[in-house]
Amino acid sequence: MPPIRILVVDDSIVIRKVLSEALAIDPGIEVAGSAADGNIALAKLPLLKPDVVTLDVEMPGKSGLETLAEIRKQYPKLPVIMFSTLTERGAAVTLDALSLGASDYVTKPSNTGSVELTRARIQGELIPKIKALCKKVPSADLTSETPSKVEQKIVAVPRTGGAARIELLAIGTSTGGPNALARLLPDLTADFPVPIVIVQHMPPVFTRLFAERMDKQTKIRIHEGVEGALLKPGDAWIAPGDFHMKVTGEGLKVKLALNQEVPENSCRPAVDVLFRSVAQVYGKHALAVVLTGMGSDGVRGAMDVRSAGGQVLVQDEASSVVWGMPGQVAAAGLADAILPLENLAVEIERRVKTSRQATQWHTGSSSTQGGVRVNR
């Protein structure tokens, strides 16, 4: 199988050198060329025919955003990974790039203390994303089987009895998630009757800016997660970068809890951490949704939700940027339904509102906290 060809675009000769050396260590990747600015990159694209472009966010002359816009006009399906700084401006421009069609992003390592450590961090984050977006080289983060084989394994775990009243929506996503959420969340109605908790794999600063942007585009209220925040219907909370987010029952209320415990699936925040807490607190009254993303984060959490009697929906392969997270949940037989992104909001609304109209509370051994039956 031929190697994945990369075009590295950055105005810094040092960054171009470090990136090229970091990528060259993988035999499945070939740095086809580099460019010091957007105009040179656009001129090289038809000559080099790369499989992926890494693009600096901030460059003199034609900016990263302007270059990205031109790439999308000429090569709408060419994967583009933005290379941004972990700053407020870098985060804002990166979110702009994602909305313009960038496939993903990597933040530039800072204060590593050595070129070797910088190179290692780039390899650890960038190479898996390149492979996931290209799907040319098997990756440990993705199922190595062909789509046809995966589809043959997708058999949902049988559900006994009717669906319970849904009291919480939990969403997990990674690569491609910002655009998926930007399409899904605005379609939810203003009277959405339950709280929403979300894990989007993003670093600090990025999650706050993303929550602020989404809040302006949706009918529901969207915030970055805060320790002790009380969950209320129609409020959505996005886990802050570098913090795990959980739901926890306190008295008659359910609140958010944040921590910086060890990463799970190399992620913090991790979908598994959130879903596990959702299963513990909400039990069969939870609806979990897994959107586009590389890796396997969310599989164990989805299993916890299903084991507790909750429901699980996943985004389908055709509408996912990377069908890693949702694909593995589906292949494990944990999905109640596999749906295109454009149909998810309608299905979520239908399941939530129908369950609340058709079901009544039952007496039992579990206690009620703020309308939520908390498992003991």
Mean pLDDT lowest among 42-46, 143-147, 218-222, 236-240: 143-147
pLDDT value for 132: 93
Domain 4-134 CATH (choose: 1.20.20.10, 3.30.499.10, 3.40.50.2300, 3.40.50.720): 3.40.50.2300
Fold held by 148-374 = Rossmann fold (3.40.50)
**How confident is residue 372, by pLDDT bands cut at 50, 70 and 90?**
low
Residues 368, 209: contact at Cβ < 8 Å? no
List pLDDT tens digits, range 79-137: 999 998 878 888 999 999 999 999 999 988 766 567 788 888 889 999 999 999 987 43
pLDDT of res. 369: 44
Q: For residue 35, give the amino acid letter.
A: A
Out of 12-16, 162-166, 341-345, pick the least confident: 162-166
Active site residue 297: yes
Q: How many CB atoms lie within 10 A of CB 275?
A: 33
Residue 250 has pLDDT above 80, yes or no: no
| Annotated active-site residue in 51, 56, 139, 201 | 201
Residue-level pLDDT at 60? 86
pLDDT in tens, 266-319: 999 999 999 999 999 999 999 999 999 999 999 999 999 999 999 999 999 999
CA–CA distance, 281 with 366 (Å, rounded to integer): 10
Distance of alpha carbon 289 from the chain centroid: 11
Same CATH topology for 4-134 and 148-374? Answer: yes
Residues 295 and 265: beta-carbon distance below 8 Å = yes
201 belongs to the catalytic site: yes
State the angle between helix axes of 88-99 and 206-217 in degrees (0 to 180), rounded to the nearest 10. 50
Q: Tell me the per-residue pLDDT of 193-248, one tens digit each, with 9 for 90 and over.
A: 999 999 999 999 999 999 999 999 999 999 999 999 999 999 999 999 999 999 99
Q: Name the residue with higher pLDDT: 252 or 229.
A: 229
3-state SS string for 60-117:
CCCCHHHHHHHHHHHCCCCCEEEEECCCHHHHHHHHHHHHCCCCEEEECCCCCCCHHH
Structural domain spans, the chain = 4-134, 148-374
pLDDT of 138 over the 50 cut: no
Least confident of 24-33, 115-124, 155-164, 347-356: 155-164
Catalytic residue among 56, 272, 297, 304: 297
Catalytic residue among 34, 63, 84, 174: 174
220-246: string of b/e by CB count within 10 Å (b at 16+)? bebbbbeeebebeebbbbbbbbebbbb
The rounded distance, in Å, linking the Cα atoms of 163 and 304 is: 16
Query: What does each C-alpha distance from 43 to 35, 36, 55, 61, 101 come to in angstroms?
Result: 9, 12, 14, 15, 20
